[in-house]
Structures are given as C-alpha cells and as structure tokens.
Amino acid sequence: MRRRGNFKIRLLIFAGIALFSLIKYWSNSEVNEYTGKKQHITLTPNQEVRMGLQSAPRMAQQHGGLYPNEEYQALVDKVGNRLVNSSIAKNTPYRYDFHLLRDPQTINAFALPGGQVFITYALFAKLKNEDQLAGVLGHEIGHVVGRHSAERMAKQGLTQGLITAVMAGGGGEAGQMATMIGNMVNMKYGRQDELESDELGVRFMLDAGYRPEEMIGVMQILKASSGGKRVPEFQSTHPDPENRMEHIKAAIKKYRK
C-alpha cells in the first residue's frame, strides 16, 4: 500500500510539472512578422535587446576582447550596417552592433539576442572579399531577425521541464532517455535555424547589392577549417556544409529577380 501511495504521489508530481511546462510553452505563441514563422517565445524584443547588451562584454572577454584594428572594425561596421539598412532588418526593434573579436584561433561568428553580432579574427582573416564578410554577417543578422535564440530558450525550457517531470516521476533509465531525446530535439531545431539564417542571409545580401554566391565560399572555408573531422549531422547543431551549400543555391535561385 505504501509503495502504491508513493507511486501515485510521483505520478501527480510528474503530471503537474509536465502540464505546467506544456501550458507555459504553448500559451506563448506568435507569428514573426518579418519571417512569417509561427514561434513559441517567452521574451519580448526589449528583453532580447537588454539580454544581448548585458552579455556582449562577457562574450567579447571570452574571445580575448576586441581586435585592436580600427580599419578592420570599420569594415565590419560598414558591411553590417549596409546589410541592416538595406533589408527588413532595419524595420525590426533590435539594436544592431558588430564586433570583431581578437580570437586568432577560433573560426566562428555568432549573434546574441537583440542584435549583438560577433566575428572572430580567425574567421575574418580567412575571408577573401567583402561579399564573403557580408555572407557571414548576413547569416548572423538572420538569427536575430528570426529570433532563434529566444525561440530556443523557450524550447529548452519546455524540454527541461519535461525532463524534470520524468525524473520526479521515477527517474532512472527513463530520465536518462528523456535527457538524450531532449538534446536531440534541440539539436534538430538548431539545424533548422541555421538553414533559415542562410536563406535570410541570401535575401539580405541581394537587398544590399552583394553577391550571395560568395556564401558558398564561406561554407568551403568552414568545411576546410574542420579538417575533415565532423560528427554525423544528426548529432550536430549545424547542418553539414555540403547540405548548406545546396540550400544556399536554392535560396539564390528563389530570391534573385
């Protein structure tokens, strides 16, 4: 009897936590007016901006600070602002700032919620022309316009809530399996975000008068930088560069007038 009573209590705890997590996630639904995509997001645009501004100094510090070359930073600013001012990004409520990081080893670019965009010197130095820089920055602006960080936070909140519910309801192997599945789901959403940002980047480049074909060159740089070592696509947050190249070619054909 005591064991049955404990089971009922665990079941009620599981149901309560799971229901709360699901209601919280599904009740925060809206359509992104710039992409037309229905999203579940708990943050407001102003909250995204504040979060990005607060996190920017710490992110820069993690990559050795800003690169000490005003000419290079001016180029990054020029290209980033041209992309924003020529596209739908200009109509968003976000504050776009572009940062060239000192990091000479990590080939990377990323965006924080609300418009803070970063590119490492390691990647910047490998780019062959201004159009490729526009491809990198356009992709990151796409993450901001697509509200991907805010959307992923909401999804991770749901996943964590359901994992907590499973653990409270019994844990053990079920909890481990729930964690693994949750991670796989979030990685899948990450790959979809990357492809959407590639497509948005193509649009922004075309709007600003850049050659979107140069995004393919960026993919080749990323592929070469991996040294041929990569995990299977289903275990990665980023699609395989070859897959991205095909999507970029299709987007160019779709949006070029």
127-144: pLDDT as tens digits: 999 999 999 999 999 999
CA quadruple 45, 73, 75, 212: dihedral sign = negative
Per-residue pLDDT at 30: 87
Per-residue pLDDT at 22: 54
Task: Enter the tokens of residue 76.
Answer: 């990054």
Per-residue pLDDT at 130: 98
Per-residue pLDDT at 178: 47
Short-list 157, 228, 226, 233, CA closest to 190 = 233
Alpha-helical regions (H) of the chain:
2-27, 45-62, 70-85, 121-124, 130-145, 148-169, 172-208, 214-225, 241-255
Per-residue pLDDT at 86: 98
Per-residue pLDDT at 18: 52
Per-residue pLDDT at 90: 97
Per-residue pLDDT at 164: 59
State whether residue 112 is helix, strand or coil. coil
Per-residue pLDDT at 230: 52
Q: What are the residue ranges in the chain where pLDDT is below 50? A: 162, 177-178, 181-182, 184-187, 231-236
Per-residue pLDDT at 243: 87
Task: Enter the tokens of residue 155.
Answer: 């999804």
pLDDT tens digits for range 3-45: 555 556 555 555 555 555 555 555 567 898 989 988 888 889 9
**Distance, C-alpha 170 to centroid of its chain:** 33
Per-residue pLDDT at 10: 57
How many CA within 13 A on the CB side of residue 45?
A: 14
Backbone angles phi, psi at 232, to 5 degrees: -55, 150
Short-list 156, 73, 77, 149, CA closest to 114 = 149
- Bridge partner residues of 119 (DSSP): 100, 109
Are 105 and 91 a contacting pair, CB within 8 Å? no
